[in-house]
Amino acid sequence: MTRVIEAEVAVAGGFELGEGPVWDASRGLLAWVDILAGYVHTINAATGERTWFEAGDSIGAVGLTRGGRLVLALADGFALADHDGEHLTRVPGFSVDRNAVRFNDGKPDPWGNFCAGTMAWDETGNPPGSLYRFAPDGTVTELFGGVGLSNGLDWTDDRRIFYYADSNSGGVDAFDTDPDTGALSGRRRFASVEAADGIPDGLTLDAEGCVWIAVWGSSEVRRYTPDGRLDTVVRMPARQVTCPAFGGPDLSTLYITTAREGYTEDELTEQPHAGDIFACTPGVTGRLPFLFAD
């Protein structure tokens, strides 16, 4: 039987397109982005203190670095910044066509790189996006193209499986990964989402190797076991669910970002918590995020 959990509001804010939560254990902070507004936000889990900074562009994702800084996927390229947004510096020598596509979700990988993908601004899938890998030496590599809407991604602790959501494909795929180099092979479908239910968005793995997938349009995050079986559903009063991440001192809290992008006044009245961040304690712990090797 599928277990059902109700999530509660953890951060009220009504973010337009809240995304990419990440737990900064060294500072006891949850960080996330508001993509279209171009802000990086944090909240101190113990005190409730809030901070934010403007990136000067739309921002698809933020990751942590081994040196205590941030790595960013801006609209058309990558950047590095101090943890408070100071000394933000774009990575030279690489950019995508910002008139056609923008960067969306991304994370550091187990090998110290930062992986992030693109999507079309008009969300029709034309032109197609790609998944890129930004290495610490500044090299940017296209891992693969033909992506409709690049979204959630994560790797297993043994570095042997990579999970990836192309939202327009209606599911999450799994790849085999070389544990030494991260090279991808053996792509196959891991879990599918019926179009009537919504589309797969951000995702994260827990300490048991299960995959938590935000389903945009469903008011749900769904947990799948490594064999692809749905075993838990987290529900919240916001349909546009974007991404889950574990945090808190013992990594037992599941934080979930949502959005209010494109809503009418009537829809916002119906969903007053759209764009808030939700949380629950699902009875399983997460893992510390991988870090970029700056």
Is the full-model pTM beyond 0.85? yes
Tokens 């991260």 found at: 182
What is d(CA 45, CA 24) in angstroms, rounded to the nearest whole number?
10
pLDDT band at 53 (very low <50, low <70, confident <90, very high): very high
Q: Which of 201, 206, 266, 276 is catalytic?
A: 201
pLDDT in tens, 209-232: 999 999 999 999 999 999 999 999
Q: Are 240 and 260 in contact (CB under 8 A)?
A: yes
User: Domain for residue 212, yes or no?
Assistant: yes
* Three-point CA angle 194, 197, 198, nearest 5°: 95
Token pair for residue 137? 């030496």
What pLDDT score was predicted for residue 186?
98
Domain assignment present for residue 290? The answer is no
**pLDDT classification of 29: cutoffs 50, 70, 90:** very high
- From the number of C-beta atoms within 10 Å of its C-beta (0-12, 13-18, 19+), residue 238 rates as buried
pLDDT given at position 124: 77
Per-residue pLDDT, 166: 97
pLDDT score of 252: 98
- The residue-averaged pLDDT of 56-69 equals 98
- Is residue 292 in a domain? no
Residue 64 lies in a domain: yes
State pLDDT tens for residues 96-155.
999 999 999 999 999 999 999 999 998 877 889 999 999 999 999 999 999 999 999 999
Q: Would 116 be classed as within a structural domain?
A: yes
Number of domains the chain contains: 1
Residue 20 placed within a domain: yes
Q: To the nearest whole percent, how much of the chain has pLDDT over 70?
A: 100
User: For the domain that residue 200 is a member of, what is the CATH number?
Assistant: 2.120.10.30
Give the residue-averaged pLDDT of 176-205.
Answer: 97
Task: Give percent above pLDDT 90 in the chain.
Answer: 97
Would you call 201 a catalytic residue per the annotation?
yes
What 8-state DSSP symbol labels residue 267? H
Mean pLDDT of the chain: 97
Q: Is residue 252 part of a domain?
A: yes
Range of the domain at 156: 3-280
For residue 117, tell me if it sits in a domain: yes
Is the confidence at residue 6, as pLDDT, over 80? yes
